[in-house]
Amino acid sequence: MSLLWEVAKLAMQRQLTYRAATLAGLLTNFFFGLLRAAVLVALFGTSQEVAGLTIQGAITYTGLTQAVIAYLSFFGWFEVMDSVYSGEIASALLKPMSYFSFWLGQDLGRALVNFTLRGLTIMGLYALVFDLTVPTHFSQWLALLATLILSWLVSFSWRFLVNLSAFWTPNARGIGRFAFGLTWVLSGFLMPLRFFPEWFIKLCNLTPFPSMINTVVEIYLGVLESHEVIQALLVQGLWVVILVVAAHLILRAGTHRLVIQGG
């Protein structure tokens, strides 16, 4: 555990050096947020509430989703893949910790920095421009904290799993792009999940993707009853377990057939 934290601290230091990239990413996320807010406001038109979401809630939703992009590396993450192809994986496998935990630690550091520097800042910028919804009860904040941690765990284990395809194919980037692209719609990132037709929501709920974005959004906005909140958190937890177990099984199968090329 302390080893994991050391890895995370190093990753944080590394992440903190990308200052220009952080600023650029921040501005881009914010600009896209403004566009998405304008689209939702125009869609709402004169209606005050659609599918249980107020217009204020919908605007807040665009802020939240833009704020977690960097925290969850939502647009794509290919680091494990790259380390398999470059052969760096060899030294990582020799480390006195499991390969999964090694990357979990790295991603923890990366996520913490991005949560603070990009996530919180975007919400701050949003608050300057829009009138945002803010959770009111202490229990809601507590649930928010839990769901944020769980969403990161779901997201990380999914990304890790996708990256493991590099063990089987020499060009897994296409698979990765496709797998990450799939999450954009199914997680409720592009549009709030509750705006979709019933059958589509059911389809999404069969996947782990709503546990990355939609649950966080709905808990933050307070549109769930308290028993629904607990249920949503349990579903997130269940996906963490499933994905982590799957990642370990596939990782074991992958390392057995791994051939390090070059050096």
Partner 1 sequence: MRSAFLTYFRLIAADIRSQLGYPVSFLLETAGAGLIISMYFISLALVFQRFDNIAGWTLGEVAFLYGLIEMGFGTMDMIFSGFDPQFFGQIVRRGGFDKILLRPQSLTLQVLGSSFVIRRLGRILQGVVIFLIALSMVEISWTPVKIIYLPVVFASLVCFFGGFFIIGSTITFWTVESIEVINILTYGGSEMMSYPMHIYQDWMRRFFTFIVPAIFLNYYPALYFLDKPALQELPYFAPFLSPIAGFGVLFFALRFWRFGIRHYQSTGT
Identified binder of partner 1 from the candidate list 45, 96, 262, 263, rule CB under 8 A = 45
Report whether 150 contacts 233 (CB < 8 A). yes
Does 184 participate in binding partner 1 (rule CB under 8 A)?
yes
Distance CA 69, CA 62 (A): 11
Report whether 221 contacts 60 (CB < 8 A). yes
Residue 9: phi and psi, rounded to 5, are -65, -40
Closest among 17, 22, 52, 1 to 194, alpha carbons compared: 52
* Segment interacting with partner 1, rule: CB under 8 A, options 22-30, 102-110, 151-159, 241-249: 22-30
Q: How far is the CB of 118 from partner 1 (least distance, A)?
A: 13
C-alpha 98: how far from chain center: 22
Nearer to partner 1, 140 or 183 (CB): 183
Does 38 participate in binding partner 1 (rule CB under 8 A)?
yes
Report whether 113 contacts 121 (CB < 8 A). no
* Segment interacting with partner 1, rule: CB under 8 A, options 32-40, 90-98, 120-128, 225-233: 32-40
* Segment interacting with partner 1, rule: CB under 8 A, options 39-47, 57-65, 95-103, 116-124: 39-47
Q: How far is the CB of 117 from partner 1 (least distance, A)?
A: 15
Q: What share of the chain is helix, strand, coil (3-state, %, to 5)?
A: 75, 0, 20
Does 171 participate in binding partner 1 (rule CB under 8 A)?
yes
Does 85 participate in binding partner 1 (rule CB under 8 A)?
no
Q: Provide the β-strand partners of residue 49.
A: 54
- The binding site for partner 1 (CB under 8 A) comprises 20-21, 24-25, 27-28, 31-32, 34-35, 38-39, 41-45, 50-51, 169, 171, 173-175, 177-178, 181-182, 184-185, 190-191, 195-197, 200
